Amino acid sequence: MPASERRPAMCVVLHDVAPQTWDAYRPLVAFADRLGVPLTLLVVPDFHHTGDLRRHPRFVSALDGRLARGDEIALHGYFHADDLPLRGDPLDFFMRRVYTHEAEFYRLDTADARHRLQRGLDLFAGFDWHPAGFVAPAWLPGAGTRAALAGLPLRYTSTVRTLVDLRSNRTHAAPGLVWSARSPWRRGLSQLVNLMLLHRHRDAPLLRLGLHPVDMQHASAGRFWTDTLTQLLTSRTPLTKSTWLDQAA
């Protein structure tokens, strides 16, 4: 079917998926299952240095079940923790201590980024997982990471506003909704901003819903995601990122 004749799509993306966060996501995952919505799971191999996934066979088994249902797994950093020293300039401080504390791949050079990417892919391969995508924590891949992605067996990466096909080097507009849920004023602002974005991007071919574990701790954020997902299903087709790229090719 020509792209102009297809319904617009949405991708429901769960960030920071790890043994430590999976229980928080279970109600939302069950809700998506009832609606028949496939999920893109951004999986962290060794969340905050607490031990890699080989120590968590029940979690690995749960994700095997998700893959069997039609979800997809993407590599999401390796530790999801920014352990490098600050560079000393105001922009570096803002990006890594104000905007986020978890920009793991923001300052890695090409060699270190490639080593960490390959380490994650090798770990996943041990579970017979072969992810098509890599998403840097906080959507902040530095220049070294962007260079390191070349030549790896990955189909795509994502930024805050785009989905990048690494095979064709084509960048697709992919506006996303995301909450900042760590304080009451941030949750209130997130509600307003996301409603505005839903209206602004109502005709976008692809819309991404980017959920985080902290969202699941707050009723207002949880209601927003379930209400929005239900609403968007009336006009959009739910797909994983890989499936959308296959159709867009």
d(CA 71, CA 182): 28
pLDDT tens, position by position, 81-121: 777 666 666 666 545 554 556 678 888 999 999 999 999 99
Quick one: pLDDT band at residue 240, thresholds 50, 70, 90?
very high
**Continuous segment of H or E residues that includes residue 163:** strand 162-165
d(CA 113, CA 245): 25
pLDDT tens, position by position, 49-83: 999 999 999 999 999 999 999 999 999 999 987 77
pLDDT attached to residue 80: 85
The set of residues, in sequence order, having a beta carbon less than 8 Å from that of 85 and lying 6+ positions away, is none
Is the model's pLDDT at 159 over the cut of 70?
Answer: yes
pLDDT attached to residue 92: 61
How large is the average pLDDT for residues 129-133? 97
Q: Which domains does the chain have, with CATH numbers?
A: 3-248 (3.20.20.370)
DSSP string, 33-77: HHHT--EEEEE-TTGGGS--GGG-HHHHHHHHHHHHHT-EEEE--
Is the model's pLDDT at 41 over the cut of 50?
Answer: yes
Residue 197 sits at the vertex; the CA angle it makes with 194 and 201, to the nearest 5 degrees, is 145
